[in-house]
Structure 1
Amino acid sequence: MHFCGVFDGHGPDGHKVARCVRDNLPSKLSEVIKIYQLNTGIFSDINVAGSELNANNGTSHDRKASSDLSLPSWEASFVKSFKEMDEELSLDNTIDSFCSGSTAVTVVKQGDHLVIANLGDSRAVLGTRSGEKKQIVPVQLTVDLKPDTPSEAERIMKCKGRILSVEGEPQVFRLWMPDEDCPGLAMARAFGDFCVKDYGLTSSPEVFYRKISSDDEFVVLATDGIWDALTNSDVVKIVASARKRSMAAELLVKRAVRAWKRKFPQSKIDDCAVICLYLKDQPASSLTQSDSHASRVGKGNDSELSLSYYSKRSNVASDQGGPASEINSKMMEDEKDTVLNCNVSQDAKEEWNAIKSVDRVNTMLKLPQFSNGLSRRKTSKD
């Protein structure tokens, strides 16, 4: 069983929140899974017979499955472990998580099954082959959980939170406290950010399932800095075009940076962190030395995992960067985005391999003085 995740921190202590989640969430999930194994014995495989699959993308989010269906237990395991992680953050006096937090997009791969849990505005996209020519096409596995997403907005408004955009960013809707022009979160779910946990923000993830088919090639987990600059189709085509698997994530980040400069020439480049999880073994004839060492981790009951991962700091203007194996030896303590892969074994011995990136620049803010009137006007109309 393999676990991969990308964690996007924001706020003054976002780097600490993301690091804490990265370091503790996998073990919490592993412990919860072991408890369910002891109680039900249904985690030895993922049985989804009878679940209703979404015809558009083949993912399942069925809570009405029969009692012998293990998928609801996987969902419950993610929800419980995320809740425990958030509770631990609230009690940690070394981290100021009142106005700091982190999103998360994670995937567990067990055999030919994928279980994806999403918290916030990062995203998981599958690259699969389709049509007579078997061209690579994207399948979005998660929903971007932003404040203006209808289901999220309904919850926030019931909890008296406010959803407003600010002057200069009319397309970005943010979550605000009822009577204060803060914190201005661009996502509706996150770890931490306890200042708005009573006003609609939640740490409960959305969980999805995907049965891997013979046409499925890879899964891309990435922060919103990638998806704001590139389309899903762009992303899977870039990853598929990489000559080496180990360099796919780096190539994707570089393309995203270039797209940012074209689309938002006056804006600071957002942080970009990526994991590419390959679902098929690489042919031995095309396996390079860097592929065989830098991007293949974890052996166990599951097949060997093939990964490419890369992250880029928002305050670095140059497109230059090293492969994942080089960055891994240069981790910095003030970084806010983290990516993680580990082998989650049943005896709870994890193999860790993590890379960090840095500061979020547009996820959290306080309204400028000129916007206070706008805020009051909109509030009065509610």
Structure 2
Amino acid sequence: MVAIQLTVDLKPDLPREAERIKKCKGRVFALEDEPEVPRVWLPYDDAPGLAMARAFGDFCLKEYGVISIPEFTHRLLTDKDQFIVLASDGIWDVLSNEEVVEIVSSAPNRSSAARVIVESAAREWKHKYPTSKMDDCAVLCLFLDGKINSEESDCDEQCYSSATIQNNNDLSNPVELDEGQKSEPSLRRNYTVRSSEEIEKCVGGESVDVEDGTSTAEDQNWLALEGVTRVNSLVQLPRFSEEKPNS
């Protein structure tokens, strides 16, 4: 397995990013208690300390070099490409490309690959930065050969796996059970893609009219289908044309 990095984290200390920020009178430096995290600061105020050079929002820094223009790259996939790992900087700040590839390759099954990466990152955060707050960790593993785990259920069958954990508070707060017992915190898989057949299986087999977003059952509680109704209501908003009405 050879890890191929497809993107570059646009951190403020990246030479071209730092040059743009400094030209716009912004400042780039790291705090003494976290020298490993360079941040963007206003010219005459030690705020807000943004740890990235490009972002949506953060309007106070838009005049000082923080932009929201993305970078685009292309890669032609071949038979040698086996999977793609998309993750937030909470993963890449503590795990190398090679370590992530090794974790995915050695995962017991594909559905648990993302979970194992996040758990490994959480351990590394505690080890490398014991005094820092753990950054948000989100991972999605996309397998390119189209194969799925045969032992998974219908609702679990995907060609990808994903897992998310927000910060170290999630690890320090155990879940309280009904019996008063405390269990270890666990990560949830994020099921973002569903076909119409999978939706019917996962919400009890009820059919849904996609055009008007309603269910054939009168006692439908909407659940995940509520978003369909909202989207369709937006689609059905009246459209105004520039044509003048007939007099």
TM-score by length of 1: 0.45
Structure-2 residue corresponding to 1:294: 156
SS of 1:267's equivalent in the other structure is: coil
Q: Where in structure 2 are there 5+ consecutive unaligned residues?
A: 173-183, 196-210, 212-223, 225-247
Q: Where in structure 1 are there 5+ consecutive unaligned residues?
A: 1-135, 297-305, 329-339, 344-348, 354-382
SS of 1:214's equivalent in the other structure is: coil
Cα gap change, 1:323 to 1:170, in 2 (>3 Å): closer
* Distance apart, 1:311 and its partner CA: 0.4
- Deviation digits for residues 115-161 of structure 1, max 9, x if unmatched? xxxxxxxxxxxxxxxxxxxxx12111001101110111111111111
How many Å separate the matches in 1 of 2:32 and 2:11? Answer: 18
2:16 equivalent among 151, 160, 182: 151
* 1:229-244 alignment, distance < 5 Å: 229-244=94-109
* 1:268-347 alignment, distance < 5 Å: 268-282=133-147, 286-290=149-153, 293-296=155-158, 306-314=159-167, 315-317=169-171, 320-324=185-189
Structure-1 residue corresponding to 2:236: none
SS of 2:3's equivalent in the other structure is: strand
How many Å separate the matches in 2 of 1:153 and 1:342? Answer: 42
C-alpha contact (below 8 Å) 1:221/1:276 kept by paired residues:
yes
* Distance apart, 1:239 and its partner CA: 1.1
Structure-1 residue corresponding to 2:82: 217
How many Å separate the matches in 1 of 2:71 and 2:16? Answer: 12
Q: CA RMSD in A?
A: 2.3
2:19 corresponds to which letter in structure 1? E
Structure-2 residue corresponding to 1:368: none
Cα gap change, 1:209 to 1:174, in 2 (>3 Å): same
C-alpha contact (below 8 Å) 2:165/2:187 kept by paired residues:
no
How many Å separate the matches in 1 of 2:36 and 2:193? Answer: 33
Structure-2 residue corresponding to 1:35: none
How many Å separate the matches in 2 of 1:288 and 1:143? Answer: 36
- Deviation digits for residues 211-259 of structure 1, max 9, x if unmatched? 1111111111111111112111111111111222111111111111112
Which portions of structure 1, spanning 4 or more consecutive aligned residues, are displaced by more than 4 angstroms?
340-343
* Distance apart, 1:187 and its partner CA: 0.5
* Distance apart, 1:322 and its partner CA: 4.2
Residues paired across the two proteins, number: 185
- Deviation digits for residues 258-299 of structure 1, max 9, x if unmatched? 12222222333222111111111216xx52224x53252xxx
2:67 equivalent among 173, 186, 202: 202
Bigger fraction of residues in strand: 1
- Deviation digits for residues 43-99 of structure 1, max 9, x if unmatched? xxxxxxxxxxxxxxxxxxxxxxxxxxxxxxxxxxxxxxxxxxxxxxxxxxxxxxxxx
C-alpha contact (below 8 Å) 1:295/1:308 kept by paired residues:
no
C-alpha contact (below 8 Å) 1:217/1:280 kept by paired residues:
yes
Structure-2 residue corresponding to 1:166: 31
Over alpha carbons, which structure has the higher Rg?
A: 2
How many Å separate the matches in 1 of 2:53 and 2:69? Answer: 10
C-alpha contact (below 8 Å) 1:245/1:295 kept by paired residues:
no
Structure-2 residue corresponding to 1:124: none
How many Å separate the matches in 1 of 2:133 and 2:19? Answer: 32
How many Å separate the matches in 1 of 2:170 and 2:123? Answer: 12
How many Å separate the matches in 1 of 2:85 and 2:97? Answer: 10
SS of 2:155's equivalent in the other structure is: helix
C-alpha contact (below 8 Å) 2:42/2:64 kept by paired residues:
yes
* Distance apart, 1:342 and its partner CA: 8.6
- Deviation digits for residues 292-323 of structure 1, max 9, x if unmatched? 53252xxxxxxxxx111100131122674144
